[in-house]
Amino acid sequence: MQVSLESTSNIERRMTIGVPAEEVEQQVDERLREAAKQVRLNGFRPGKVPMKVVRKRFGQGVRQEVLGEVMRNAWMEAIQEQDVQPASQPRFEPQTVEEGKDFEFVAVFEVMPEIQVGDLSQISVEKPWSEVQDKDINKMIDNLRRQQATYKEVKRKAKKKDVMTIDFTGTIDGEEFEGGSGEDQQLTLGDGQMIAGFEDQLVGAKTGEEHTLDVTFPEDYQNEELAGKQAQFQVTVKKVEEPQLPALEKEFFEQFGVEAETEEEFREEVRKNMERELKNGIQNRIKQQVIDGLLEVTELEVPQGMVDQEIERMKQEAVQQFGGQMDPSQLPSDLFQDQAQRRIKTGLLFQQLVQDANLEVDSERVDEKIREIASTYQDPDEVVEYYNNNPEEKQQIESSVLEDQVVDHVLENAKVKQKKYKYEDAVKPPQQGA
């Protein structure tokens, strides 16, 4: 077998492979002899069809099957011989296929890129600092109570947190615009469901009243035709309802899976959950900045084959997230292209940093993470035992911990400054590239 390898880009290779004709013909003959034992043709007894007839009838199809297998097997042998690490399946291009001549074909494929991680000292990370305060707990409990609230119609003036049912019609320069009208629309005053100023002007309104609201659409409004424009809304208040919040008692606590007898016990459980959420929020915000920094300081071309595979995974994830009622192939690949590239680049950079820094999974941190996860369940010991007895599940925790160790390694070399955050801001999902 003859092999020549050509680099057509940083990550694309073009491999020309020649296979001796006798090797191909031998496999074709063997396949035809096997077929002759099974083939049935009118005028011949089973297994007695002459090879000349079998070759004429089935030779071309068998030869195509053999050539396909020869290309796959020869390519696998060639990449081992050439010590090449492919990142995707090859595209085969047959060159010489005439019977009796050496078979020559080209395999075009991508290889894993050589990665040189950029200067970590050029990465800047803003490390959030925050804590759960009593006012944060009060707000969280208030939100939980409102989730379970019932509503009672009132005749008084509306105030914030009341639920108002309205009809409205919006105009710009006296002309109605698309999407600017609604009937029996429910909104909770002060929740920011409508554009800025809309709900504020309805505070103090009563059932049966009509109001004219003057508002201005934000400059960055999603509908560019409305962005920055002044509008008027004619609003009819059809109903005002006051929330009836449930009492802080055992029955209410059980709605959220908390076994507590008193308000203080419930508050303590809420605090623990919020502190876990805060810790995760800060870690995610830091990790996002580390990833952004690595991508900024490192030039990295990724194999499109790997990106395509990741796009398919993301399509499957999207379909599962929305109930699995769609064929993943119907989703446009362009929708996932940028995110898939980012995932692949991030994975490759983290792998390289593990090698560069000789990082190994910290077993103590793995145990700590498992205990942290277990603490959210009714029987923590059972959860710990589950992970310790399920290698695949534990491996996912180990991978997560190793990623955390990579982040810590980058932070040791990056420019880090602390910034105080409010709880509600610290737990918000970070934006990529922000």
State pLDDT tens for residues 33-42: 776 666 666 5
Question: What does the pLDDT read at residue 36?
Answer: 66
Structure tokens at 266: 């419930």
Residue 53: pLDDT band (50, 70, 90) is low
Question: What does the pLDDT read at residue 362?
Answer: 96
Residue among 315, 280, 310 nearest 423 (CA):
280
- 225 or 346, which is more confident: 346
Nearest 10 degrees: Cα torsion 51, 52, 54, 60 = 120
Question: What does the pLDDT read at residue 46?
Answer: 63
Residue 320: pLDDT band (50, 70, 90) is confident
Using CA atoms, how far apart are residues 184 and 321, in angstroms rounded to an integer?
30
Distances 17 to 67, 101, 107, 110, 373 between C-alpha atoms, Å: 12, 14, 8, 16, 53
Q: Averaged over 315-340, what is the pLDDT?
A: 87
pLDDT > 60? residue 43: no
| Domains of the chain and any CATH numbers | 2-110 (3.30.70.1050), 120-131+253-426 (1.10.3120.10), 151-244 (3.10.50.40)
| Model confidence pLDDT, tens digit, residues 107-128 | 999 999 999 999 999 999 999 9
- What b/e readout covers 123-162, taking b as 16+ CB neighbours within 10 angstroms? bebeebebebeeebbeebbeebbeeebeeeeeeeebeeeb
Q: Averaged over 132-137, what is the pLDDT?
A: 96
Residue among 139, 181, 136 nearest 161 (CA):
139
Using CA atoms, how far apart are residues 143 and 163, in angstroms rounded to an integer?
14
Residue among 408, 355, 362 nearest 120 (CA):
408
Helix (H) or strand (E) holding 74: helix 51-81
Using CA atoms, how far apart are residues 310 and 246, in angstroms rounded to an integer?
46
pTM of the complete model: 0.76
Helix (H) or strand (E) holding 151: strand 150-153
303 contacts: CB under 8 Å, gap ≥ 6: 11, 87, 88, 110, 111, 112, 113, 344
| Model confidence pLDDT, tens digit, residues 278-311 | 999 999 999 999 999 999 999 999 999 999 999 9
Q: Averaged over 202-210, what is the pLDDT?
A: 95
Mean pLDDT across the chain, nearest whole number?
90
- 325 or 343, which is more confident: 343
- 259 or 213, which is more confident: 213
pLDDT > 60? residue 389: yes
Residue among 118, 88, 85 nearest 349 (CA):
118
Do 431 and 284 meet the contact criterion of CB atoms below 8 Å apart?
no
pLDDT > 90? residue 244: yes
| Model confidence pLDDT, tens digit, residues 64-80 | 888 999 999 999 999 99
Q: Averaged over 341-360, what is the pLDDT?
A: 96
Centre a 10 Å sphere on the Cβ of residue 61 and count the other Cβ atoms it contains: 11
| Model confidence pLDDT, tens digit, residues 163-197 | 999 999 999 999 999 889 999 999 999 988 899 99
pLDDT > 60? residue 45: no
Question: What does the pLDDT read at residue 321?
Answer: 82
Using CA atoms, how far apart are residues 96 and 77, in angstroms rounded to an integer?
20
Question: What does the pLDDT read at residue 33?
Answer: 76
DSSP lists the bridge partners of residue 216 as: 230
